[in-house]
Structures are given as structure tokens and as C-alpha cells.
């Protein structure tokens, strides 16, 4: 039987050093989130395991972002427009255009297309003449370039350490993906009304989230700055958290918050919500 020759001491030392380095590197890796079915609910207020977020106004500042895009367009084209009013009018067309889908006057239509329908009307009304199709498309995609609120990234990162976090918006999937990439948002997944082919506040739009996350509705919480959105979600069994965005519609139209006890949580921003939820 052949006797094995022991490795030289220098090789043994190198092997040990490699093992120690690997162990040290692993020690600094973030621990994965574990959502065991029998985990203590005391760690999760109200038993909530996942947070789904309205996006427009709650996560990103649509008003000042659209105003900025309009001002850049005006600098190129010489348009004289009240861009704050324009942004509000564009946003105001959102509900009626969704109702056309909801009432059956239009087939299922992505929000990008609804935004363009409203924009085409505003271009005529505000006299934005001479825009090419490429320029109109770029301006319509201003909704893909919305900027986050100052607390958004830090707050979401803290919440993500403890909870599954996802969008739950009427925006189509590609729109929400572009917003996230542009703003630096790291969702665990992107959920959209497009997946249920029902716009909020239809119950199907809310219930698709717990279905896809394999959770009962009461373990999923909608986070939004729109009380009507939260009231509709609560009717389907979801938990609710209101986040106050006083300047959502611009400084000229500050928002009045609802009663602090109307929803499961009331937060001044995402960092405040993270504190309340133990994240």
C-alpha cells in the first residue's frame, strides 16, 4: 500500500488562510429573510408579512417630476405654459381614462396608452405645436422618469430588511420597472394592475397581491397616500398604512390628511413607517 506524502507546510498554511478568508467573507453577507409559516407573529405587527405600495404620489413625486420635464421641454421649444397646472391636468385625466376601461368602452389598456390619450388632448388645449412623434413619446414617458421622495430609498431599504416589499400600482409592469430603475428602488417583485387586468379600486387588483405572494389578505398591507385607495383595499381584507405626502399635488395645493386612527398605521414618511413596523 502506497503511503501518502503529507503536503508541505507552506501549502497547508495557504489552505488554512483561504478557509479563514472565506469564513470571514461569509460573516459579512446579509442574512436572508426567512418567512417560516410558524414564525412568531409578535415580530410582525398585526401579523403582516408583506407590504405592497401605491407608487404615484406615495413612492415617487409625480407633480414636481412632470413640472421639471415640462420646463425642460419649454426650454427647447419656447412654450409658455403653467407646468404645475399642466401636470395636475394630466394627472386628473387618469381616473376618467381608467373608467373607460372599467366600463367596457375600451378593452384592457396599459396606463402608458391612457397617459398618451390624455396628453394628446392637452397638447391641443395648451397649444404645444410642432412636436414630433418622437418628442411626444419622450414626453409621455416622463412618467417613467419620476423621482422618489427624499425618504423613499432609505425607508424602503429598512422595510425590505424585514418584510417582502412590492409595488401595487395601476402602472403597467414596464412603466413600474423603469420607475424603479430610474429612482434606484429595489423591490422584491413588481406587482401591477396589469397582472389582474383590473385597475384599482377594483377588488381583483388588490387580491392579486396576496394570491401571487401566497399569503392570506390580512398578512399583506397596502401602503398609500390616497385614503380612497386604502379604503378599497381594506374592504378586500388587506391591512392599511397611510403615509402623508403633503406636497403630492404641489405646494399650491397642500394635502389635508385623514384622521390618524382611520387606518391600521399613520406615518409621516417611510422612515416613520419603518420605525412603527420594527424595521
pLDDT in tens, 35-70: 433 444 558 899 999 999 999 999 999 999 999 999
pLDDT band at 18 (very low <50, low <70, confident <90, very high): very low
The dihedrals phi and psi of 90, each to the nearest 5 degrees, come to -60, -45
* Strand positions, DSSP E, 119-254: 147-148, 164-169, 189-192, 220-224, 239-243
Q: How far apart are CA 247 and CA 255, in angstroms?
A: 7
Q: Is the dihedral of CA 18, 24, 28, 34 positive or negative?
A: positive
Domains and CATH numbers, the chain: 41-60+146-276 (3.40.50.1000), 62-145 (1.10.150.240)
pLDDT at 254 over 60: yes
The pTM (predicted TM-score) of the whole model is: 0.85
In 3-state terms, the chain is what percent helix, strand and coil (to 5)? 50, 10, 40
Average pLDDT for 2-30: 45
Over the stretch 86-130, which tens digit does the pLDDT of each residue have? 999 999 999 999 999 999 999 999 999 999 999 999 999 999 999
Angle at 173 between CA 148 and CA 56, to 5 degrees: 35
Q: Which residue has the higher pLDDT, 17 or 133?
A: 133
Over the stretch 136-193, which tens digit does the pLDDT of each residue have? 999 999 999 999 999 999 999 999 999 999 999 999 999 999 999 999 999 999 999 9
Express as a percent the part of the chain with pLDDT over 70: 85
pLDDT at 263 over 80: yes
pLDDT band at 15 (very low <50, low <70, confident <90, very high): low
Q: How far apart are CA 74 and CA 176, in angstroms?
A: 26
Q: What pLDDT, on a 0 to 100 scale, did the predictor assign at position 209?
A: 98
* Mean model confidence pLDDT for the chain: 89
pLDDT at 4 over 60: no
Q: What pLDDT, on a 0 to 100 scale, did the predictor assign at position 43?
A: 81
Amino acid at each position: 500500500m502506497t503511503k501518502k506524502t503529507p503536503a508541505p507546510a507552506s501549502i497547508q498554511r495557504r489552505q488554512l488562510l483561504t478557509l479563514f478568508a472565506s469564513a470571514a467573507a461569509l460573516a459579512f453577507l446579509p442574512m436572508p429573510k426567512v418567512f417560516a409559516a410558524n414564525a412568531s407573529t409578535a415580530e410582525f405587527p398585526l401579523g403582516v408579512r408583506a407590504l405592497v405600495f401605491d407608487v404615484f404620489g406615495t413612492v415617487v413625486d409625480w407633480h414636481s417630476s412632470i413640472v421639471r420635464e415640462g420646463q425642460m421641454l419649454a426650454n427647447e421649444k419656447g412654450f409658455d405654459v403653467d407646468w404645475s397646472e399642466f401636470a395636475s391636468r394630466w394627472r386628473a385625466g387618469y381616473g376618467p381614462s381608467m373608467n373607460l376601461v372599467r366600463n367596457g368602452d375600451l378593452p384592457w389598456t396599459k396606463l402608458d396608452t391612457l397617459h398618451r390619450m390624455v396628453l394628446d388632448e392637452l397638447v391641443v388645449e395648451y397649444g404645444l405645436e410642432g412636436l414630433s412623434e418622437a418628442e411626444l413619446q419622450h414626453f409621455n414617458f416622463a412618467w417613467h422618469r419620476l423621482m422618489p421622495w427624499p425618504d423613499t430609498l432609505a425607508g424602503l431599504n429598512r422595510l425590505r430588511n424585514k418584510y417582502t416589499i412590492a409595488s401595487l400600482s395601476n402602472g403597467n409592469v414596464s412603466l413600474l420597472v423603469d420607475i424603479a430603475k430610474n429612482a434606484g428602488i429595489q423591490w422584491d417583485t413588481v406587482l401591477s394592475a396589469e397582472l389582474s387586468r383590473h385597475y384599482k379600486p377594483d377588488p381583483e387588483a388588490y387580491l392579486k397581491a396576496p394570491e401571487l405572494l401566497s399569503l392570506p389578505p390580512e398578512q399583506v398591507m397596502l401602503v398609500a397616500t390616497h385614503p380612497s385607495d386604502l379604503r378599497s383595499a381594506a374592504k378586500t381584507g388587506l391591512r392599511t398604512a397611510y403615509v402623508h405626502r403633503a406636497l403630492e399635488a404641489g405646494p399650491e395645493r397642500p394635502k389635508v390628511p385623514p384622521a390618524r386612527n382611520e387606518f391600521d398605521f399613520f406615518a409621516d414618511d417611510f422612515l416613520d413607517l419603518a420605525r412603527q413596523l420594527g424595521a
